[in-house]
């Protein structure tokens, strides 16, 4: 175990964890909502430091990040645990694994070994992903600091539920994030995700102000968050962060506790993209529909197709040092 960051000792050997917006008050011998932070003797410890449950070399487009080092690969790493309880979780086998269990699964893998693996595989970045990186913050933080020294980028694929103090601590090493904005409804967040909306909105605003490259994903689930009104509210909020913020409008497939719902109609995803563009966002993408026109990056000034994608693959990239090769408009992003 490694002593956790961001906690306060309370009376009676209780502690308050200040890592995420739940701010769990944890009795001695108990764990927080995430299942991977435990109170031992009035101190809080991480149970997953150095315990990687999944590692893989992924295309950066899989995160999805379309405006951060496009065409590169990212060394992806995760531990067990999550601070959400999403009914549609695609990685529930590892995200909720520690709940009610004593043993923490994962292979021993040090931060130094993660960075070395990224270098050996020619990855330009390390992505803390698959589960929620906030709950393995100490592991991600130590790895990110080492990666930054090697000029390797660091990426959070996250639900955005970390506290301001955690986000400000990781910011010097955090180059990019894709944040799930799952809905614009407090009821949806509470009933479907076991969380709250406002902390996510505040994290998005803070990331933007701190200069972290930000892209947002919304998984559109039939009957739950697919109304035009809700999609427009999401798009308008993202626009308030800056029209250059890419929005990924992604198709839902039945999984975990929502197998009774149908896949999202392609027309709904395309309509979401239209709404985002209508609001004024420069880059809106359709997700989980390989070959769809909405996977491509277009110049927001002249409409030229600049990056042609199919799934996670780039078939053509016409960008010239981050500019449109036709009209010269600057295309927003990092290392385009």
CA-to-CA distance for 240 and 205, rounded, in angstroms? 9
CA-to-CA distance for 297 and 308, rounded, in angstroms? 7
Residue 64 placed within a domain: yes
Do 70 and 187 belong together in one domain? Answer: yes
Do 19 and 32 belong together in one domain? Answer: yes
CA distances from 32 to 39, 137, 161, 275 (A): 8, 14, 14, 39
Do 226 and 127 belong together in one domain? Answer: yes
According to the 3-state scheme, what is the secondary structure of 152-209? CEEEEEECCCECHHHHHHHHHHCCEEEEECCCCCHHHHHHHHCCCCHHHHHHHHHHHH
Look at residue 103 in the predicted model and tell me its pLDDT. Answer: 78
Look at residue 326 in the predicted model and tell me its pLDDT. Answer: 98
Q: Is 148 exposed, middle or buried (0-12, 13-18, 19+ CB in 10 A)?
A: middle
Relative to beta strand 73-78, strand 37-40 is unpaired
Report the pLDDT averaged over residues 160-183: 98
Do 319 and 234 belong together in one domain? Answer: no
pLDDT over threshold 80, residue 97: no
Report the pLDDT averaged over residues 323-327: 98
Do 108 and 232 belong together in one domain? Answer: yes
User: Which secondary-structure segment (H or E) carries 118?
Assistant: helix 111-120
pLDDT over threshold 70, residue 100: no
Structural domain count of the chain: 3
pLDDT over threshold 70, residue 101: no
Report the pLDDT averaged over residues 261-285: 98
Give the whole-number percent of the chain exceeding pLDDT 90: 97
Longest distance between any two alpha carbons in the chain, whole Å:
67
pLDDT, one tens digit per residue, over 126-171 is 999 999 999 999 999 999 999 999 999 999 999 999 999 999 999 9
**pTM of the full structure:** 0.97
SS3 category, 121: coil
pLDDT, one tens digit per residue, over 187-200 is 999 999 999 999 99
Running DSSP on this structure, what letter comes out for residue 296? S
């Amino acid at each position: 175990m490694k002593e956790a960051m961001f906690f306060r000792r309370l009376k009676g050997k209780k502690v308050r964890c200040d890592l995420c917006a739940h701010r769990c008050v944890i009795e001695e011998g108990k764990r927080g909502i995430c299942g991977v932070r435990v109170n031992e003797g009035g101190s809080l410890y991480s149970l997953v430091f150095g315990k990687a449950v999944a590692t893989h070399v992924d295309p950066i487009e899989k995160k999805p990040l379309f405006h951060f080092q496009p065409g590169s690969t990212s060394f992806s790493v995760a531990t067990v645990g999550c601070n959400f309880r999403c009914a549609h979780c695609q990685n529930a086998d590892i995200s909720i694994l520690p709940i009610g269990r004593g043993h923490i699964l994962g292979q021993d893998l040090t931060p130094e070994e993660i960075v070395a693996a990224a270098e050996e595989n020619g990855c330009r970045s390390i992505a803390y992903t698959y589960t929620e990186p906030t709950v393995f913050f100490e592991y991600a933080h130590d790895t990110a600091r080492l990666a930054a020294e090697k000029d390797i980028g660091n990426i959070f694929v996250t639900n955005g539920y970390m506290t301001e103090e955690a986000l400000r601590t990781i910011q010097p090493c955090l180059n990019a994030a894709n944040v799930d904005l799952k809905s614009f409804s407090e009821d949806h967040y509470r009933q479907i995700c076991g969380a709250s909306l406002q902390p996510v909105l505040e994290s998005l605003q803070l990331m933007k102000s701190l200069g972290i490259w930000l892209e947002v994903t919304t998984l559109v689930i039939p009957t739950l968050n697919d109304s035009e009104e809700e999609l427009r509210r999401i798009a308008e909020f993202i626009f308030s962060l800056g029209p250059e913020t890419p929005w990924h409008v992604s198709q839902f497939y039945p999984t975990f506790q929502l197998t009774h719902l149908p896949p999202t109609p392609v027309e709904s995803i395309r309509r979401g993209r239209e709404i985002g563009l209508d609001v004024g966002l420069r880059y809106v993408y359709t997700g989980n529909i390989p070959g769809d026109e909405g996977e491509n990056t277009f110049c927001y000034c002249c409409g030229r197709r600049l990056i042609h994608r199919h799934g996670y693959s780039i078939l053509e990239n016409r960008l010239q040092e981050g500019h449109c090769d036709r009209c010269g408009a600057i295309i927003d992003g990092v290392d385009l």
